[in-house]
């Protein structure tokens, strides 16, 4: 096996040991769809003890597009020969609209900018862990799921589904608080725009939280997502308005929210 493969096995084994995986797992031939498939054989100890090379071989270039085959997962795709050292998190970032748990045979996976990321194996301390995704995005996704039943994958990566869920949250609140009778479809349209109420400094509640979450996902940090429109939220909103060349009135009205939520 090449060094990149040995590196992935060693890291995967360390993660399994840390999480206590393996005590009650099924055997290879007990897994649905895998009873007929041969499995690889290799020297586990050599793989587990691998510490990296001073001169690792550079992985082959990654393709522009990969077509899902039977048994594929993002993890297996990232570690196929010829994927250029691309990692799972790179694939997720390059494909924000996909559901990693529901890949379909024939589905196209875009390597996009991910193929430019070449990860070379290096020496890691035993206690070093990797943590993908943004914790605040993860918190936003959890809140959207629990408060509005949006059924998002809580992965910490911002994408179209997270944005659509924020619009659903906004539509829900406009209906609940102002009886706007909007269709809660997660789409920004003329009816949703017409129903907008202005949110400004001093406001408190779910509408303010939605504004804070939307600003954060667009790269404008409002500080603590506390549902209170204070100076940090006002500052983030002002920066967003200036960047979009809007009137920097520090109020979230129809024009600003359209720029924030529309495609």
3 state SS of 76: helix
Report residues of the chain scoring pLDDT below 50: 54, 56, 115-130
Distance in angstroms (rounded) separating the CA atoms of residues 134 and 126 = 23
Bridge partner residues of 20 (DSSP) = none
Q: DSSP label at 109?
A: E
Q: Report the alpha-carbon distance of residue 169 to residue 76 in Å, rounded.
A: 35
Q: Which of 199, 167, 197 is nearest to 183 (CA)?
A: 167
Q: What is the DSSP letter of 29?
A: G
> Residue 99: what pLDDT?
79
CA angle 89, 92, 93 (to 5 degrees): 90
Rounded CA-CA distance 144/216 in Å is 14
What is the spatial distance between Cα 181 and Cα 174, in angstroms, rounded to a whole number?
Answer: 8
pLDDT at 256: 96
- Beta-carbon-side half-sphere exposure of residue 213 (alpha carbons within 13 Å): 28
Region of residue 179 (phi > 0: left; psi between -120 and 50: alpha; otherwise: beta): left
Q: Tell me: the pLDDT tens digits for 36-55? A: 555 555 555 555 555 555 45
The pLDDT of residue 177: 93
């Amino acid at each position: 096996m090449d060094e990149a493969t040995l590196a992935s096995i060693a890291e995967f084994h360390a993660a399994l040991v840390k999480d206590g995986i393996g005590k009650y797992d099924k055997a290879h031939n007990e897994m649905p769809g895998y009873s007929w498939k041969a499995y690889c054989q290799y020297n586990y100890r050599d793989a587990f003890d691998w510490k990296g090379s001073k001169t690792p071989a550079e992985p082959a270039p990654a393709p522009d597009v990969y077509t899902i085959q039977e048994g594929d997962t993002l993890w297996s795709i990232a570690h196929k020969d010829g994927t250029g050292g691309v990692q799972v998190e790179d694939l997720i970032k390059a494909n924000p609209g996909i559901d990693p748990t529901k890949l379909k045979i024939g589905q196209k996976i875009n390597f996009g900018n991910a193929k430019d990321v070449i990860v070379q194996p290096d020496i890691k301390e035993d206690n070093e862990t990797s943590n993908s995704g943004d914790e605040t995005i993860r918190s936003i996704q959890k809140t959207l799921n629990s408060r509005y039943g949006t059924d998002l994958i809580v992965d910490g990566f911002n994408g179209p589904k997270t944005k659509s869920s924020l619009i659903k949250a906004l539509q829900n609140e406009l209906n609940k608080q102002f009886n706007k009778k909007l269709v809660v479809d997660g789409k920004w349209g003329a009816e949703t725009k017409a129903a907008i109420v202005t949110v400004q400094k001093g406001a408190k509640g779910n509408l303010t939280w939605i504004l804070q979450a939307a600003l954060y996902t667009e790269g404008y940090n409002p500080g603590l997502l506390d549902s209170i429109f204070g100076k940090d939220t006002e500052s983030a909103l002002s920066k967003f308005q200036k960047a979009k060349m809007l009137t920097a009135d520090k109020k979230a009205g129809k024009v600003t929210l359209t720029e924030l939520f529309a495609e």
